Amino acid sequence: MSSIPARRPAQLVGISLAYFMVLLDTTVLAVAEPDIMSSLDVGVVGVGWATTIYTLALASALVFGGGLADRVGAYPVFVGGVIGFGTTSLACALAPDLAFLLVFRALLGLFAAAIIPSSLSLIAALYREPGPRGRAISAWAAISGAAMAAGPVLGGRLVTSDGWRTVFVINVPLALVVLVLCRTRVVSARYARATSWLPHLGLAATLAVATLAITQAGRRSWLPAALLGVVALGLAYGTVIIDRASAAPIVPAALRRNRAVWVGFGWGAAVNYALTTVIFSLPLLLHATAEEVGTTLLPMTLLVALNPLVTGRLVAAYGPLRPIRTGFAAFPIGLGLVAVATAGHERPLVLGFGLLLCGLGVSWTLPALVGFAIGHAAPEAAGSVGGILNATRQVGATVAAAVAGATLAHRDDGAAVVPFLIAAIVCVLGFVSAMLPSLSRVKTSSRSKAAEAPPK
């Protein structure tokens, strides 16, 4: 144990790089979409599933991964997740067709669900004092958040030079570096908590069938879409019933009737819906190389990576609602400008300004809504709030990729603007809900918690 303090900085870098790797996998894939379509001979819907199935698996398993880390220890779950993520990334790079790619992308989502919650648990075990822990979380957030800025540019360069498979190969050396930096075992607390896989399986089935329904609607096969929609609703209802009876529910009883917390979950889903819409749709609409697309996205991705530091100060000074409202006001305007810029003739200046506003929308809302949700929950439920919030964000991303893929499959009727307009409506609803008078009385504790909360 005496070597732990000396190795803490290296281990913190390794833990942060692991989350960097998970986030990088999503952003670099976005610019690789056209090359995947050409290489594997698939359409927009097919490449949409490559994004959707990852976020679907991640959303379904995040809370389970956190519970598993609590039960068996964060370190073995973290190391197993990193090994699995690196190995499965190599399998994705070698996938001969779309079916194999989808299988391995789903596995990537499961391993990512092991990495994310266990990484924060390891930081808590390494830095037990509030001050050093807050600084460590800030460093973790800064390093991992850089993936948002680096992903499109790095991915564009890799795809342009060596093709889409390299965006997965890069995870292998990253995983090895993480394992070397984190080779010293970190002892964390274990809790005798029950685990139950059935509610998570129900959530995965619900999201999968709902995605199929959206896909069928995009193909204008209305009867199959309606039938699948009914099945998805039935699965959702069944999952809720199973979860309430479970010994290890996804949603603890203390949170089921907490309206403010659920509003925060909804905001998280809305923000990720809008963000994923932009990242997924633009590479398919811009007539540019992967490298050029990555550079085009920089006004948004740089702000997403850097501006949360400013947002933390705003939250500390004014509370979380003001930046949340400002973010939800900026986002639909930005999405509207992106829609205008991609309809017909491309308008680089309009697109750049729209992406800038989208970046402000994400970076103002996400750090603040984390603190808002945690501040409205009992202290013993803070961990559950973090896990569910991350899961609902991935649900938003899953639905966004499905909707964008379905609508962009019909480019001949002006459908290019549809995903952005739908996302703008989602953000307007977020703004309206944030203006409700009943949410104006925020717990004082949420200010400090939001200021320390990571942006991802």
Largest interatomic CA distance in the chain:
66
Chain Cα centroid distance, residue 307: 17
Backbone angles phi, psi at 181, to 5 degrees: -65, -30
Residue 194 binned pLDDT confidence (cut-offs 50, 70, 90): low
Residue 26 binned pLDDT confidence (cut-offs 50, 70, 90): confident
Weakest-pLDDT range from 191-195, 241-245, 386-390, 395-399? 191-195
Residue 423 binned pLDDT confidence (cut-offs 50, 70, 90): very high
Spell out where 13-82 has E strands: none
pLDDT at site 29:
81
Q: What is the mean pLDDT of residues 342-361?
A: 86
Q: Is the pLDDT of residue 70 over 50?
A: yes
Residue 432 binned pLDDT confidence (cut-offs 50, 70, 90): very high
Which among 342, 345, 344, 363 is positioned nearest to 299, based on CA atoms? Answer: 363
Q: Please tell me which residue, 122 or 137, carries the higher pLDDT value.
A: 122
Measured CA to CA, the distance from residue 241 to residue 162 in angstroms comes to 49
pLDDT at site 189:
60
High-pLDDT (> 70) share of the chain, %: 87
Q: Counting Cβ atoms within 10 Å, is residue 7 exposed (0-12), middle (13-18) or buried (19+)?
A: middle
Ranges of H-type helices in 246-319: 259-285, 290-296, 298-306, 308-318
Which among 332, 331, 308, 305 is positioned nearest to 320, based on CA atoms? Answer: 308
Going by the DSSP 8-state scheme, the letter that residue 415 receives in this structure is G
Q: Please tell me which residue, 147 or 23, carries the higher pLDDT value.
A: 23
Per DSSP, the three-state class of 343 is coil
133: Cβ contacts below 8 Å, ≥ 6 apart: 123, 124, 127
Q: Which domains does the chain have, with CATH numbers?
A: 1-185 (1.20.1250.20), 196-247 (no CATH), 257-456 (1.20.1250.20)
Summarised one tens digit per residue, pLDDT across range 91-136 is 999 999 999 999 999 999 999 989 988 887 788 778 777 667 667 7
Q: Between vectors from CA 254 to CA 73 and to CA 446, what angle results, nearest 5°? A: 80
Q: Please tell me which residue, 315 or 93, carries the higher pLDDT value.
A: 93
Which among 93, 135, 183 is positioned nearest to 451, based on CA atoms? Answer: 135
Residue 338 binned pLDDT confidence (cut-offs 50, 70, 90): very high
Q: Is the pLDDT of residue 258 over 90?
A: no
pLDDT at site 357:
96
Q: Please tell me which residue, 388 or 377, carries the higher pLDDT value.
A: 388
Q: Please tell me which residue, 354 or 57, carries the higher pLDDT value.
A: 354
Q: What is the mean pLDDT of residues 247-262?
A: 81
Q: Between vectors from CA 190 to CA 188 and to CA 195, what angle results, nearest 5°? A: 135
Handedness of CA 340, 346, 348, 349 (dihedral sign): negative
Mean pLDDT of the chain: 82
Q: Is the pLDDT of residue 1 over 50?
A: no
Q: Please tell me which residue, 168 or 385, carries the higher pLDDT value.
A: 168
Q: Is the pLDDT of residue 2 over 60?
A: no
Weakest-pLDDT range from 59-63, 101-105, 259-263, 372-376? 372-376
Which residue in the block uniquely carries the two structure tokens 């308008």?
A: 347
Measured CA to CA, the distance from residue 316 to residue 310 in angstroms comes to 10
Q: Is the pLDDT of residue 296 over 80?
A: yes
Ranges of H-type helices in 297-434: 298-306, 308-318, 321-342, 348-375, 382-408, 418-434
pLDDT at site 3:
47
Measured CA to CA, the distance from residue 14 to residue 65 in angstroms comes to 19
Measured CA to CA, the distance from residue 109 to residue 56 in angstroms comes to 8
pLDDT at site 130:
64
Q: Is the pLDDT of residue 455 over 70?
A: no
Measured distance between the N- and C-terminal CA atoms of the chain, rounded to whole angstroms: 30
Q: Is the pLDDT of residue 447 over 50?
A: no
Residue 287 binned pLDDT confidence (cut-offs 50, 70, 90): confident
Q: Is the pLDDT of residue 321 over 80?
A: yes
Measured CA to CA, the distance from residue 31 to residue 225 in angstroms comes to 29
How many helices (H) and strands (E) would you count in the chain? 18, 0
Measured CA to CA, the distance from residue 436 to residue 304 in angstroms comes to 26
Cβ burial 394-420 (10 Å sphere, 16+ → b, else e): bbbbbbbbbbbbbbbbeeeeeebbbbb
Q: Is the pLDDT of residue 81 over 90?
A: yes
Weakest-pLDDT range from 3-7, 32-36, 60-64, 154-158? 3-7
